[in-house]
Chains A and B, each alone.
Chain A
Amino acid sequence: MPKRLLGLLLVLPALAVIAFLFILPLIMSAVGAFQVEGAFGWGNFTKTFDLYTKDIIFTVVIVSLSTVLIGIASIAIGGYLTLGEHPVAVAILRWLYRWPMFIPFIVVGQILRTFLSKNGMMNNTFINLGLLSPLDAVSFLDWRGIVIAFVWKQTPFVALLVAGAMASINRDTIEAARNLGASRLRLLLEIVVPQVAMTLTVGLILSFVTMMSVLSVPLMINAQSPTMLTADIAFRVNSYGDYGVANALGLISLVLAASVAWIYLRASLKERA
Chain B
Amino acid sequence: MTAAHIPAARNPLAALWWVPRGIIFGLMAFFIFGPLFNLLLWTVAEKWYFPHSLPLEYGFSSWAKVFAPRGGAMESLTNSLIVALLTVVVSLLLAIPAGYALARLKLPFRGVILLAFLIPQAFPNLTVYVNVARIFYEIRLNGTIPGVVLVHVSHGLVYAVWIATAAFSAIDAELEQAARNIGAGAFRAFLDVTLPLAAPGLMASAIFVFLESLDEFTGSYFVGAPDVNMLPLLLYTTAAGGNYQIASITALLLLVPSLVFMLIVERFLKADVLSRVGH
Interface set of A (CB-CB < 8 Å, partner B):
3-4, 6-8, 10-11, 13-15, 17-18, 21-26, 28-29, 32, 85-86, 89, 92-93, 96-107, 109-115, 119-122, 124-125, 127-128, 134, 152, 175, 178, 206, 209-210, 212-216, 219-220, 230, 233-234, 237, 243, 246-247, 249-251, 253-254, 257, 261
Residues in chain A near residue B117, CB distance under 8 A: 14, 18
Residues in chain A near residue B157, CB distance under 8 A: 14, 17-18
User: By the criterion CB–CB under 8 Å, are B50 and A110 in contact?
Assistant: no
Interface of B is mostly: helix
Shortest CB distance A73–B (Å) = 10
Residues in chain B near residue A106, CB distance under 8 A: 215, 217, 232, 235-236, 251, 254
Residues in chain B near residue A28, CB distance under 8 A: 131, 134-135
Residues in chain A near residue B217, CB distance under 8 A: 104-106, 215-216
Q: Which of A17, A115, A124, A243 contacts B35 (CB 8 A)?
A: A115
Residues 14-41 of B at the A interface (beta carbon under 8 Å): 17-18, 21, 25, 28-39
User: By the criterion CB–CB under 8 Å, are B221 and A249 in contact?
Assistant: no
Is B95 an interface position by the 8 A CB rule? yes
Stretch from B56-64, B148-156, B174-182 contacting the other chain: B148-156
Known: A21-B150, A85-B5, A111-B36; 10 extra A-B contacts, CB below 8 A, are A14-B157, A22-B120, A96-B29, A99-B259, A106-B251, A111-B38, A152-B31, A206-B122, A209-B121, A247-B130
Stretch from B70-78, B102-110, B197-205 contacting the other chain: B102-110
User: By the criterion CB–CB under 8 Å, are B154 and A21 in contact?
Assistant: yes
Is B222 an interface position by the 8 A CB rule? yes
User: By the criterion CB–CB under 8 Å, are B94 and A114 in contact?
Assistant: no
Residues 104-159 of B at the A interface (beta carbon under 8 Å): 105-108, 113, 116-117, 119-132, 134-135, 150-151, 153-154, 157
Q: In chain B, what residue has the closest Cβ to A112? A: B35
Interface of A is mostly: helix
Residues in chain B near residue A237, CB distance under 8 A: 130, 222
Sample (9) of A-B pairs whose CB atoms are under 8 Å apart = A3-B106, A10-B101, A18-B157, A111-B251, A121-B34, A122-B34, A213-B125, A230-B124, A243-B130
Residues in chain B near residue A18, CB distance under 8 A: 116-117, 119-120, 154, 157
Q: Which of A3, A17, A134 contacts B154 (CB 8 A)?
A: A17
Residues in chain A near residue B30, CB distance under 8 A: 125
Residues in chain B near residue A101, CB distance under 8 A: 262
Residues in chain B near residue A32, CB distance under 8 A: 131
Is B244 an interface position by the 8 A CB rule? yes
Is B79 an interface position by the 8 A CB rule? no
The size bracket of the interface on B is 35 or more
Shortest CB distance A15–B (Å) = 6
Interface set of B (CB-CB < 8 Å, partner A):
1, 4-5, 8, 17-18, 21, 25, 28-39, 42, 50-51, 53, 94-95, 97-98, 100-102, 105-108, 113, 116-117, 119-132, 134-135, 150-151, 153-154, 157, 161, 211, 214-215, 217-218, 221-222, 232, 235-236, 239, 244, 247-248, 251, 254-255, 258-259, 261-262
User: By the criterion CB–CB under 8 Å, are A124 and B53 in contact?
Assistant: yes
User: By the criterion CB–CB under 8 Å, are A3 and B105 in contact?
Assistant: yes
Q: Which of B53, B214, B218, B261 contacts A121 (CB 8 A)?
A: B53
Q: Which of B5, B8, B25, B108 contacts A96 (CB 8 A)?
A: B25
User: By the criterion CB–CB under 8 Å, are A10 and B105 in contact?
Assistant: yes
Residues in chain A near residue B127, CB distance under 8 A: 25-26, 29, 233, 246-247, 249-251, 253-254
User: By the criterion CB–CB under 8 Å, are B130 and A246 in contact?
Assistant: yes
C-alpha spacing A209/B122, complex, angstroms? 6
